[in-house]
Amino acid sequence: MQVSAQVSYKSREEIPEKYKWNFTDIYENWEDWEADFKAIEADMQKIVSYKGTLGKSASNLLKLMHTQESLMKKAYKVYQFVSFQSTVDTRNMELQAKLQQVGLLFAGFGPVTAWISPEMIAIPETTMKEWIATNKDLKVYEFELLDMYRLQKHVLNEELGKLVSYFSQVSGNPGSVFEALSTTDIEFQEVELSDGSKVTVTPGVYAQITSSNARTQEDRKKVNEALYDVYFRNKNTYAAIYNGIVQSEWANARARNYESCLDASLEGNNIPKDVYVNLIKTVKENTAPVQKYYQLRKKVLGLEKYYGFDGSISLVDFDKKYPYDDAVKIVTESVLPLGKEYQGKLKTATASGWLDVYENPGKRSGAFSAGVYGVHPYMLLNYDETLEYVFTLAHELGHTMHTTLANETQPFTTSNYTIFVAEVASTFNERLLLDYMMNTTKDPNERIALLTQSIEGIIGTFFAQTMFADYEYQVHTMVEKGMPINAEILTDTWGTIANQYYGDVTEKTQYSNYPWTRIPHFYNSPYYVYQYATCFASSAKLYKDVTEGSETEKQEALKRYITLLQSGGNDFPMEQLKKAGVDLSKPEAMLAVINQLDKLVDELAIEIEKLKK
């Protein structure tokens, strides 16, 4: 086994530069940032000058669109330059102050632009189509401009639009409180493990210990209690934060004449409500493969009692570490089926200051990829050398490549792909990685670990995210019905749903029903998580098309897939997926993933029996 590079740093300064973000790609210095900040204020005043002129000519409308685009391009850079730096240094109060400064600037957009949508809507649709047909520069904005007529009944008049905009900064506060409570002000606990060592149980340390076969169940129990006790002690605060977020969602939905928060979330991208409801129904009725897998784990591990914190250890004696540089090589090789051009762009991404790799004190936990149009995506990791994080690397690089291809191909107005297709590229890359590693390993233990990783990927991305979506739907529905929300109700709701999805295979602890306190998507991106499941089903179908059939069929499927990534947000996501070969209005895509999981669990059981012999 190769010697691991250091992955635990006492300070950010210790981390080599090649493993950290290069912020100068956005701005060379704070003076350049300040210049764009002031330019945004000037753009806002310029936008106001167009009031009352939009319906007079296509030229006036085009001037507004160009000014808005100029403003938004700068806004992305101004925000992300501060946000990214704050992400890796959440304790820096100067950066926090600048984030608030940016937030106040953005909050000012609403009142001064509230007139735009009503004035645009007043232009007859036939006139708008004529202008677009006869003005090539305006045609760039065709999808955006024509879609507003579909949403006409939800457009507020200027007076109401301005009133609602005044509350935008306030409605975002609960999410900021969650971030402060969970990252900046959090104090993780120290525990003593069975070997006498003492550790502070951060999310990263927790993942390392619960995934290590060298650790005992008692060690896993200790770190589980230490981590969740931090959140458990603040359960009432988390409940108040979440209630504030959902109440804000409901207020905004009603203000814009939506019947529910879900309708408000889906209609913008023209997603049928049945896609969401049927996803939950189909998955909830087909949880047997998940419970079969946990029964198998309990048997193989020889545990008298099986807990949730036993879910990350390998079923075999496999605790291999994957140094980051090795993981990059593996992931790079795995994407070759997508072509050398795709692979080349991925190599650039991993070697050019686009990735922030290791955990450091004050750095936000988790992983993400976020783009800056005209610059490049920035990708956050807290890499810990586990097999799981090799897959996380592949996953986030899928997002990064999606953003890169969209930004290279689309104009700014249609570059931003919707959340509904966002997880297709990431889960597609995970499947490529699984195939590559299964085909290159000669270690039977690693094969079992990889099958386990694949199964866990389906459970975590498809089943668990559907369960989270179920939870969000139930809580939002309670608020919409005027029912009370508190820590006890949220905990009971979580427990009831968890029992439906996972049965009684897993033993309960004092903290079993409190994961709702620490799932960032609930607080930062309501009604986001269901799309992990729909995207997983989509990527599974697209992967099959790209890797099976005749050479001609595979090449045509690959072309459709790359076109999907390049298309950004130039059409409704359901239509984009249909063009690529996926129809999510039918249950077959969901059932195919469920059947795939069932087969993988059976295959895993067979591999384990072979190893015993």
- 3-class state of residue 50 by DSSP: coil
SS3 content of the chain, % helix, strand, coil (to 5): 70, 5, 30
CA distance 57 to 75: 27
CA distance 26 to 83: 12
List, as one string, the DSSP characters of 208-235: HHHT-TTS-HHHHHHHHHHHHHHHHTTH
Q: Work out the angle at residue 437's Cα, subtended by the Cα atoms of residues 461 and 421, and round it to the nearest 5 degrees.
A: 30
Please state the φ and ψ torsions of residue 368, each to the nearest 5 degrees: -160, 170
Task: Render the burial of 26-36: b for 16+ CB within 10 Å, e for the rest.
Answer: bbeeeeebeeb
Q: Which residues pair with 200 in a beta bridge?
A: 190
Please state the φ and ψ torsions of residue 192, each to the nearest 5 degrees: -105, 125
> Is 341 noted as a catalytic residue in this protein?
no
Task: Give CA torsion, residues 446, 448, 454, 460, to 10 deg.
Answer: -110
Q: 13 with 88: CB under 8 angstroms?
A: no
**355-356, strands of its sheet edge to edge:** 355-356, 378-380, 368-370
453 alpha-carbon distance from chain centroid? 19
Indicate the length of the chain as a whole number.
613
CA distance 367 to 426: 12
List, as one string, the DSSP characters of 567-594: TTTSS-HHHHHHHHT--TTSTHHHHHHH
CA distance 22 to 150: 41
**Active-site position among 179, 249, 396, 607:** 396
Phi-psi region of 385 (alpha: psi -120 to 50; beta: other; left: phi over 0): left
- Strands 355-356, 378-380: pairing is parallel
CA distance 177 to 155: 30
List, as one string, the DSSP characters of 485-518: --HHHHHHHHHHHHHHHHTTSSBP-TTTT-GGGS
Nearest in space to 161 (alpha carbons), one of 122, 118, 120: 118
Q: Which long-range contacts (CB under 8 A, 24 or more apart) does 99-102 make?
A: 102/37, 102/78
CA distance 385 to 142: 46
Task: Give CA torsion, residues 590, 593, 599, 605, to 10 deg.
Answer: -120
Residues labelled as active-site residues: 396
